[in-house]
Amino acid sequence: MEQGNALHSPTRVAHLTTVHHPFDPRIFHKQLAALRNAGFDAHLVAPHERTERVHGIPVHALPRPQNRAHRLALQPRVFRTARALGAALYHVHDPELLPLAGLLKKTTGARVVYDMHENYRSKGALLGRFLRALERWAFRWVDHVLIAEQSYRAIMEDHARPHTYIPNYFRPIGEEPPAAPVDISSPPTRLLYTGTLSDGRGLRTMVRLAARIRGADRPETLSLVGICRYPTQRARTEEQIRRGGLGAVVDRVGWDTYVRPSTMPPHYRQADVGLALCEPRPNHVGSIPTKFYEYLHYGLPLICSDIPLWRRFVDRHECGAVVPPNDPAAVLDVLDEWQAHPERYRQCAENARTAAGQYRWGPIGKRLAGLYRRVLPDNVPELSTTESR
């Protein structure tokens, strides 16, 4: 590759995305924070209201795109912004940015890391094939690939490319005190779902669950904390809540706006049970939801869809129950059992808290910083002791 502009610093690295929120937990609060604490000059190029420094990390603002066409139209600006940074390494989070990353590598001599967040082949026949083709092309020249799930190893083995598993383990945001033990003095009635909301992620099932709770005059409540990016699904759900009188059962936080991770702890602390009632779609069956690790941290037993990988997780840690997908009655059966036998619920909560220690971000952040040192051509600072969680 020919080299163009000189690198500003052998420790300057830049993460690029036009798809993800600038304060996406994996990108900003885990990876960039770990790199900052390890002594890297870590930057982010992403859609944001303004260019600013947040928690010591410079955020270089791009306009917020409204759709994929707008994102593609942003690419020249992304390239100019990224190239002007003169980073020694560019870390790309979206497959559609891979051609831009290839151009950065060719014109600057920088290293390129590609972060595979999803199995994009599951995005539908046409789009999925296109994104996988982009990845296959990039695997010929990218310096390293990060995979967010163990199941993606099969993709990488087909291409014999160097790759590293960087899971989305839990990292507390800010100086948060340790989570208090779950209050088991009363039956588990406060149900919580966190994360992006959609029918595929269980939205329709959770509304049906709320309707059953309302119809049977049960004591449970359901908090949905996250954004639903689909206006038609939001409108349908709002009408179902209004028509069914479910306002006293369902609480929506965020809904049409992104919920920042720093605002999440109170919702976990006020809950008794964590839900993950996703449909068994291709991208779910090979992935452990990040919310599992978050629920465990707060000692929340799980009730999740009976997906083989998820069942193995719950069975291994004895931290909850699995139910058939799209079956709200089965969720109520689990709650009835826990309410009739509180010692079983208590044991699941204790097991969840015990298991949480296996899924802390701290060692993964060190793994990421070590990888950067191996990929970069020059010596970089040793890991600081500030990244301990």
Residue 7 resides in a domain:
no
- Same domain for 253 and 344, yes or no, is yes
Residue 384 lies in a domain: no
CB-CB contact of 273 with 194 (8 Å): no
pLDDT of residue 55: 94
Provide DSSP, 153-207.
HHHHHTTT--EEE----B---SSPPPPPPP--SS---EEEEES-B-TTTTHHHHH
Residue 125 shares a structural domain with residue 66? yes
Residue 118 and residue 210 in one domain? no
Q: How many domains does the chain have?
A: 2
Pair (167, 198) in one structural domain: no
In whole angstroms, what is the distance from residue 328 CA to residue 249 CA? 14
pTM to 2 decimal places: 0.89
Residues 283/183, Cβ–Cβ less than 8 Å: no
Give the CA angle between residues 165, 315, 271 to the nearest 5°.
85
Bridge-based pairing of strands 57-62 and 52-54 is: antiparallel
Give domain status of residue 331, yes or no. Answer: yes
Q: How would you write 86-143 as a 3-class SS string?
A: CCCEEEECCHHHHHHHHHHHHHHCCEEEEEECCCHHHCCHHHHHHHHHHHHHHCCCCC
In a shared domain, residues 280 and 294: yes
Q: How many CB atoms sit inside 10 A of residue 382's CB?
A: 11
* Angle at alpha carbon of residue 11, lines to 9 and 12, rounded to 5°: 70
DSSP structural state of residue 386: T
Whether 4 maps to a domain, the answer reads: no
What is the three-class DSSP state of 278? coil
Successive 10-residue mean pLDDT values, the chain, 389 residues = 56 96 95 97 97 97 89 94 97 96 96 90 72 89 93 78 92 65 73 96 98 97 97 97 97 95 93 97 90 96 98 98 98 97 96 96 97 83 51
| Position 385 in a domain | no
- Structure confidence at residue 188 (pLDDT): 93
Q: What is the pLDDT of residue 126?
A: 78
Contact 212, 328 (CB under 8 A): yes
The residue type at 144? H
DSSP state of 31: I
Helix/strand/coil percent split, the chain, to 5: 45, 20, 40
Q: What is the pLDDT of residue 4?
A: 45
**Do 162 and 236 belong together in one domain?**
no
pLDDT at 348: 97
Which residue range(s) make up the domain with 244? 190-359
Residues 105 and 146 reside in one and the same domain: yes
Any idea what the CATH number is for the domain that residue 281 is in?
Answer: 3.40.50.2000
By C-alpha distance, which of 74, 116, 94 is closest to 20? Answer: 94
| Shared-domain flag, residues 86 and 105 | yes
Torsions phi, psi for 275 (to 5 deg): -105, 145
pLDDT value of residue 274: 98
- 194 contacts 264 by C-beta, under 8 angstroms: yes
In a domain, 389, yes or no: no
Question: Do 63 and 159 sit in the same domain of this protein?
Answer: yes
Sign of CA dihedral 118, 123, 128, 131: negative
- Please tell me whether residues 342 and 365 are part of one structural domain: no
- What H or E segment, with its residue span, contains residue 42? strand 41-47
User: In the structure encoding, which two tokens stand for residue 101, read together?
Assistant: 């990353």
Token output for 257: 């706006």
Structure tokens at 135: 């990845």
Output the DSSP codes for 281-339.
-HHHHT---HHHHHHHHTTPPEEEE--HHHHHHHHHHT-EEEE-TT-HHHHHHHHHHHH
User: What pLDDT shows up at residue 388?
Assistant: 46
Spatial separation of the C-alpha atoms in residues 280 and 326, rounded to whole Å: 10
353 and 304 in a common domain: yes
167 domain residue, yes or no: yes
Examine the domain organization and report whether 166 and 214 are in the same domain: no
* Domain-embedded: residue 147: yes
Output b/e per residue, 30-65; b: 16+ Cβ within 10 A. Answer: bbbbbbbbbebbbbbbbbbeeeeeeeebbbbbbeee
pLDDT at 357: 94
